[in-house]
Amino acid sequence: MAEEGQNSNKVQDLPKVLVLGPPTCFATLEPLYSHKFHFLNPKPLDLSLQHFITAHNHHASSITAILCSTSYSISADVLRLLPSLRLVVTASIGTDHIDLNECHRRGIKVAAAGGTFSEDVADMAIALLIDVMTKISAADRLLRTRNRCSGFWDFPLGFKLSGKRIGIVGLGKIGMEVAKRLESFGCIILYHSRHQKAAVSYPFCSTVLELAITCNALVVCCALNEQTKHIINREVLLALGKEGFIVNVGRGGLIDEKQLVKCLMESKIGGAGLDVFENEPHVPEELFTMNNVVLSPHCATFTAESMTNLCELVGGNFEAFFSNKPLISPVSEFG
């Protein structure tokens, strides 16, 4: 009993990290770093943050760091509950679930996943693009649901990826990895970003509409913010055309989802490959019955390799912070 009490006291003396979400990596992260940090996770108790802090005598003033996922909004209201907070670490590339302006105002540092997922997300983008263009998932459903003894298969033609003009919306780390993979297929690559990149030889389009008019398919992988919300609207989708395809591995809000569903139902575009949705975890039911749509449950980053790398990065950021060293993957751009 005395030993248990000593262990309990040791845990209480560790730096406290409030876990909100929690992120998928937490199950792997916790046993690796529980000897260094005291993780406080309200989720199993199904309590609100305020009730959790009150009920468990975790004085808000003692919590200086948060670990969160995209499923938990780190709003100004949440930040106000934690007067001593100095660090927010998100296990994601995107930071649209964090009030960066309020963090900046209060001097709270923010760290994200950086380039940890870039290769995995790029792989998923190409997989979705090939799948929706060549109708792999549709063909799979046909064989699984149709009587195999009913005669010859009647299956519509798809499109090859090789040699196509592909527009990348957001030529950051993920966008560059997508471009690298597309080059292997002999694709002609164009892009749209906030700024033209001097070191890049790909043709730059100043608007997404221009990109859609020019290309056979769009791969959307930019960050979601006030400027990029619904950057893919009905006008862009119509410009893409009946034989045009769109893949989204960024954030669901980058596409006007209602207009996307409408354009698909009206056969105004060729198809869509979607790993993200505007109101996750809700997915429009109309998409489930469409053979020209490939769906993925926001799992582009769910690889064993990524989880290992992410745990090391997240743990490393906390170690750096509590040792008064620079963060490994700081978010430098605030709103």
Does a cis peptide bond (omega within 30 degrees of 0) precede residue 284?
no
Burial of residue 260 (CB within 10 Å: 0-12, 13-18, 19+) is buried
SS (H, E, C) 39-75: EECCHHHCCCHHHHHHHCCCCHHHCCEEEECCCCCEC
Which tokens is 260 given? 């996307």
**CB 303: neighbour CB atoms within 10 A?**
15
8 to 33, 45, 70, 215, 224: CA distances (angstroms): 16, 19, 31, 61, 42
Gap between the Cα atoms of 20 and 90, Å rounded: 10
Nearest to 223 by CA among 133, 313, 97, 62: 97
CA 29 to chain centre: 19
| Cα 195 from Cα 193, distance rounded (Å) | 5
Q: 272 by DSSP, 3-state: which?
A: strand
- Catalytically active residues are 251, 280, 298
